[in-house]
Structure formats: C-alpha cells, structure tokens
Structure 1
Amino acid sequence: MSQGRALGRMMTGTFVVLMLALAVVCAWLGVWQLHRLAEKEALIAAVAERLHDAPIPVPAVEQWSSLDLTDLNFRPVSLTGAFRYNQTVTVFTSLSNANGAASGPGYWVVTPFVLADGGTVFVNRGFIPEAMQEAAVTDAESDTVQVTITGLLRPAEKGGFMTPAADTSNRVEWVRDPVRLAEMVDPSLAPFAPFYVDLPAGAPGELPQGGETAITFPNNHLGYAYTWFGFAIVAIVMLGYWLIRQRATSKS
C-alpha cells in the first residue's frame, strides 16, 4: 500500500512539474513575441523614414556578395547606365489597391539595367495590364543611351515549391528573383545584382505604371503573444482543476 501511495505521489509530482514547465515555456514564448513586436514596429518606423531619404548610389559590384539586404530594403538608390529593353522579362502579378489607374491581373515589366561601372541590375519599371504583355517583350529595341534613374532597392522575391517554372517562350516569370530572371536574359550581361529596383510613379496614365511598391510587413506578433499567454493560463487552470479532483478523490 505504501509503495502504491509513493508511486502515486511521484506521478503527481511529475505531472505538476510538467504542467508548470509547460506554462513557463508558453509564457516565455509570449514575452518573446512581444519583443518581436517591438522589433517589427521599429523596423516599420525605420522604413517609413527611410523612404524620404535622399537616394544613395546603388551598391557597386564588388559589394554585392556581402550586402545586408535587410538594411537596404526600401532604400532610395540612384543608378547610372543603360536599359536593355530587348531583354525585358514580365513577371505575373495581380495588382490591388493600386496607386495608379491600372490594376487587376497583369505583369511587372522588369528590364536589365547595365550599370556604367559594371554589372547589371534588374529594374521593375512598373505594372501593365494583362493584355499588354506580348507587346512589352516583343516591341522593345536595344538601347545603349546612358541615363540616371532613381528607385527603391528591394531584396529578391523567393519562389516556393509551388512556384511554376518560367515560361521562357513568352518571357514570363512568377517572382522578381534576379537569379531566375538572369536565366531569361543574355548571359553576357552578368554579373547580376542580388536585388532589384522599383521605379517611382511617372506621369498620370503612363505605362508601365511605376510607384506601386507595397510597403507592407507581416506583423502578427501581438496575436501570437496572446495565443502563447492563453496557453500558459490554460495550463495553470488545467493543473489547478486536476489537483482539486485529485484531492477530492483521495478524501473519498
């Protein structure tokens, strides 16, 4: 009998420790999410301020392998070089909440921009409606006129395992990823920057329709924090209920 009681007390103690540990872990995860919330809000504020900074020169080729693209995301940059319009690639999208008149299914018009100091940056010139895709990739001619442009530096969009392969015959891609885009253009334009640049809006009604950069960041950390704190509370409540039941059972 005494051995059974000892075993029962040991199992009770183990269960209590496990439930308390679970509550502590859930509470810690809730606190961690609150820290992540503060970091995300600081990032959003920094980006909002960064958008109004004067453009900096686009990073040179020798810097590309060591860039901190998180720090450069949405930073205004200036580039001097020439577009290769005959190498344009279109990237399928569906534009909602557009800043310009055009929206709905369509394409980003992405054109290689050969820098005067070497290397090539893919430049997203803006959005066009779906019906204009063929003209965007077939009516363009080669151009070597040197110009200086400004835009927002953006890290590559990465495709997932469900992202289709590029439609090379129609020059259609699905993500703005310089690695994938480079496979669609003349390889002599290499090296290619590990980022792309979004152009600002042009004149009203002008196509491609620039200025459509979405300044958004997923920010669900507060909801996650509430969830983890809720789990911690549930664990404590369940433990309390179980202990009450155990005491009532032992008295009976």
Structure 2
Amino acid sequence: MPRTLRWPRLIIVTLIALVGIAGFGALGIWQVQRLHWKTALIERVESRIHAEPVPAPGPAEWSGLSAETAEYRRVTLRGHFLNADEVQIYTPTEWGPGYWVLTPLARDDGTVVMINRGLVPEDRKNPATRPAPEGAQTVTGLLRISEDKGWLFSRDNNPAARLWYRRDIGSITAALGLHDAAPYFVDQELTDPEGWPLGGKTVVAFRNAHLSYALTWFGLAAFVALAWGLVLRSELRR
C-alpha cells in the first residue's frame, strides 16, 4: 500500500531549505559586490600612486574630497612644521608597538595640513629621541582621508590625555587648537631609509579573495538546494 506524503516534515524541510538558499545566496551576492568594489579600489590606487604629484587640495576643494575622488592621490605641498604640536598614533608594527608620527605643516596660505611623517618604534616615541625638521619643507606623499570611524573593537581616541588610536584629523586638529586645517592628511614618502620617522609605509596592496568567498557561498546555496531536492524526491516516491 502506498504511503502518504509527510506534509509537516516537507513543510519544515522546505522552509529550512528556502532560508538556507536565500541566506547563502545573499552572502554570495554581497561578496560579488565587494569584489567589484575591491577591484575598483585596487585599480584606482595603482593609477594614483605612480602618477606625478599634484598640488595638495586647498580650502576651495576640501568640501568635495572623498575616498573615491581623492584618496591615494600623490600630492606635494610646502610649508614649515609645527613640531611642538606633533602627535603620535598608536599602531602595531613589525617591531612591536609603534606609532605614526603626525605633525602639522603650516602653509604659506595660512592653512594647516597634518603630515604623517612615518612610523617610529616604542623607544622613539619621544620627539627628543629624533631630530625635528626645521625651516621650509617640501613634502610629497599620498593624500589620505581622515579616519573618523573606528573598527568594531578599536579603542576610542582620548584627546584630553593625548592618546590616539586612529588618525581622526578633525579630532586631532580641534584638540591642538588649529584653525583652517585641512580635513585630510598626507602620508609622507620615504625620505631617509636610516632616519626616524620611517616614511613610505602606506599600505597600497590589498588582499582580494572575494571571488573565492562568493563561490563558497553560492556552492553552499547549491548544496542546500540539492539536499532539498533529494528529500522532496524521496517523499514523492513514497
């Protein structure tokens, strides 16, 4: 005697399968979108870091700056460093705990741009352990957008205690009392391989594994669909 379909079991299995297929499929689509974003980022960075330097944006251009339009643009600017206002931003390095050294550069037009002069290890954090640049300076480097937002587990800056964990330019310049300060900073290129801070440490190589992630999620969606089909076939044969 043929057995009847087990409808409650079929309904539950079908709901689970649909949730799995929709969830894994959505994750796959998201990774495809991330793939397009990362590919565009890599192409944009590669085209900019090897270009001839252009003058750093002035106040008239500040409001229109964004990661897409300006970040990693190679720029040049001239002025003198306000060494007394140097700040150090904590960051892990190949030597262990280290710091980005950011110093305001006062330009002839009265504006100020924060210059990331490079990395120093823990024992070079104190400015007294290294010479400060004096007089007129010409800086060439990569324009970077302010790091206003931290990562999920990143620590918050503490301007009152002069403790910094990300390069939030608005917060830094406000704490220093600087006016007419650019909303971006410039990663200075390497100028002295033997000196401190060590410039030219901008990360310009980005891992791009989004295609493999997308294939993994789509594969899982296909696996769930296949499993659901086998269960349905088994029930129909009853």
TM-score bracket relative to the smaller structure: 0.7 to 0.9
One-letter code of the match for 2:234?
R
Aligned residue among 153, 167, 175 for 1:184 = 175
Aligned pair partner of 2:90 in 83, 89, 92: 92
2:192 counterpart residue number = 203
The residue number in structure 2 matching 1:117 is 109
Which entry has the higher C-alpha Rg, 1 or 2?
1
For residues 227 and 116 of structure 2, what CA distance do their matches in structure 1 show?
55
Post-superposition offset of 1:243: 0.7
Comparing 238-247 and 47-56, the one that deviates more: 238-247
State the aligned residue count.
233
Q: Which residue of 2 aligns with 1:100?
A: none
Equivalent of residue 151 in structure 1, options 141, 151, 155: 141
Separation in 2, partners of 1:29, 1:165: 33
Task: Note the residue ranges of structure 2 that are not aligned, 5 or more in a row.
Answer: none
* TM-score normalised by the chain length of structure 1: 0.77
Among 219, 225, 230, the residue aligned to 1:230: 219
The corresponding residue for 1:82 is 80
Which stretches in structure 1 are left out of the alignment for 5+ residues? 97-102
What RMSD in Å do the two structures reach over aligned CA positions? 3.2
Q: 1:200 to 1:87 in 2, by over 3 A?
A: same
User: Residues 155-166 of structure 1: matches in 2 within 5 Å?
Assistant: 155-157=145-147, 158-160=149-151, 162-166=154-158
CA 1:164/1:117 → structure 2, altered by over 3 Å: closer, same or farther? same
What is the deviation of 1:146? 3.5
Task: Determine the structure 2 residue equivalent to 1:99.
Answer: none
Q: 1:69 and 2:59 equivalent? A: no
Are 1:58 and 2:50 counterparts? Answer: no
CA distance in 2, matches of 1:129, 1:223: 37
Q: Secondary structure at the match of 2:126?
A: helix
User: Secondary structure of 2:99's match?
Assistant: strand
Letter in 2 for 1:135: P
Amino acid across the alignment from 2:90: F
TM-score by length of 2: 0.81
Distance 1:138-1:181 versus aligned 2 partners, 3 A rule: farther
Question: Are residues 125 and 34 of structure 1, via their aligned partners in 2, closer, same or farther at CA, if it must alter by over 3 Å?
Answer: same
Q: Given that residues 55 and 76 in structure 1 are in contact (C-alpha distance below 8 angstroms), is that contact kept between their aligned partners in structure 2?
A: yes
**SS of alignment partner, residue 124 of structure 2:** helix
- Residues 162-192 of structure 1 deviation map (CA, whole Å, 9 limit, x = unaligned): 41442645x441111102212431x1x2132
CA contact (8 A) 2:100 2:117 kept: yes
CA contact (8 A) 2:90 2:166 kept: yes
- Structure richer in helix, relative to its length: 1
